[in-house]
Structure 1
Amino acid sequence: MNEKTIVPALLDRYGTTYAEEAGITLRDTPAPLYRLLVLTVLCSIRISAATATAAARELFGAGLGTPQRMTGAQRRVLIAAFARAHYVRYDESTATALGRGAELLLDRWHGDLRRLRDAAGGQSERIGELLQEFPRVGPVGSGIFRREAQAVWPSLRPFFDERTLAQARLLGLPGSPAGLAGLVPPEGLARLAAALTRASLEHVGADELEDAVELRPTG
């Protein structure tokens, strides 16, 4: 396989972003960006991405998709949502982190993460630093947020963390953000980054990807 076949196969098999899996229609508006922050917090512990995205869907289904609703939520509502998603080991600490994070967002950024972006001058590294002021969001979490947010924040593009770059090299793709950016349109970078992340988590090499393509039904 070469780049012209690897990238379409990778996107076809693994190209769902984590925001999409969590039911977030990502736009450059306050509510979807906040939901992405919630997802980031949920993903920032040692728990499967499937469980984290399921927990996010349960929270949003319970009406907790804005910082205002999150700060006003009864704790039992959050815990019940986590239980439905089987996100139980860290439910109490996560409920606390989400509540404090929502308060910080409202107090400092008036509920709008675009203000954080603008305060950072749109610079990726500075955005990452400011994101880490939210409870539980560390370097990995800030990378998760930026990886997904580049779909709607062009100043972040191209964003690929070390995991995605290592996976790209394993598949014979360019091992730099600039090199990967030449493989898809700008609006497709978040999908490519998500696909590389998912392939990495499943330990997919070039041979496995080629086998998956050959086994895929046609017509």
Structure 2
Amino acid sequence: MLDRCGQTYARQAGIRLRDTPAPLYQLLVLAHLLSARIRAEVAVDAARALFDAGMRDPRRMAEASWQQRVDALGVGHYRRYDERTATQLGDEAGLLLDRFGGDLRRMREDGKLGSRLRELPGIGPMGVDIFLREAQAVWPEYAPYIDRKAQDGAARVGLPRSPKALAGLVADEDVPRLTAGLVRVALDRSLAEEVRAGA
């Protein structure tokens, strides 16, 4: 699983995830894009296009024009929801700047991270799950974060569904990679068959 499909979505999007404001914000943008009903590869490409256009932190996202955000999403082929998403990304960045000084680490200070994330435009329960699946790599208090989508992938390849049992199969630092792989096999039946055949 780790070898075949264990790359995190953050790494795929070119995010060097650390416990610092810019990479955490980039992860939030990626989670936002991945939570739409669109192929994961398109969401990753759109995130890369936004970052390549300079929108790597909340200030730059907020300062970019709506059209610049739409254009960057278009470069990433994120066209179905581009106009609405461009608006949400601008509003989300503004809210992060106003309430948290653009630093997502301030959202977790009182233990209300999940509810605070859901206050952001375009981030619902699925967006929170996506964010925390990846953020557990730098915020270990959320590990193991293995949500239902990952548990569905585990069942598809014959692994236990229990987060504790799944986390026990790999080293702590590999739990985010395992989780990403489980999500990929949940979304792709042929990939799941490849993983099962290679076990």
How high is the TM-score relative to the length of structure 1? Answer: 0.87
1:102-160 deviations in Å (ceiling 9; x for gaps): 0111111111111101122xxxxx32221111111111110000001001000000001
Taking a change above 3 Å as real, the CA distance of residues 75 and 205 of structure 1, as seen in their structure-2 partners, is closer
Classify 1:170/1:89 alpha carbon distance in 2 versus 1 (closer, same or farther; 3 Å).
closer
3-state SS, counterpart of residue 76 of structure 1 = helix
**1:110 aligned onto 2:101:** yes
Question: Structure 1 206/20 Cα, relative in aligned 2: closer, same or farther at 3 Å?
Answer: closer
What's 2:129 paired with?
Answer: 143
Structure 1 segments unaligned to the other structure (5+ residues): 1-9, 121-125, 215-219
Q: 1:194 aligns with which of 176, 180, 188?
A: 180
Counterpart CA distance in 1 for 2:135 and 2:107 is 13
Partner SS state of residue 153, structure 2: helix
For the 8 Å contact 2:156–2:186, the answer to whether it is kept is: no
- By how many angstroms is 1:175 displaced? 1.4
Q: How many residues align?
A: 199
Is the contact made by 1:55 and 1:85 (CA closer than 8 Å) also made in structure 2?
Answer: yes
Q: Equivalent pairs: percent with the same residue?
A: 52
Cα drift, residue 170 of structure 1:
2.9
After TM superposition, give the deviation of residue 174 of structure 1 in Å. Answer: 2.1
Amino acid at match of 1:74: S
| Distance of aligned partners of 1:210 and 1:44 in 2 relative to their CA distance in 1, 3 Å threshold | closer
Q: Distance in 2 between matches of 1:94 and 1:198?
A: 24
Query: Deviation above 3 Å: which 4+ runs of structure 1?
Result: 204-208
SS at match of 2:17: coil
2-structure distance, mates of 1:81, 1:23: 16
Letter in 2 for 1:68: R
Instruction: Give the match for residue 141 of structure 2.
Output: 155
Q: Distance in 2 between matches of 1:207 and 1:141?
A: 27
RMSD in angstroms over aligned alpha carbons? 1.5
Which has the larger Rg?
1
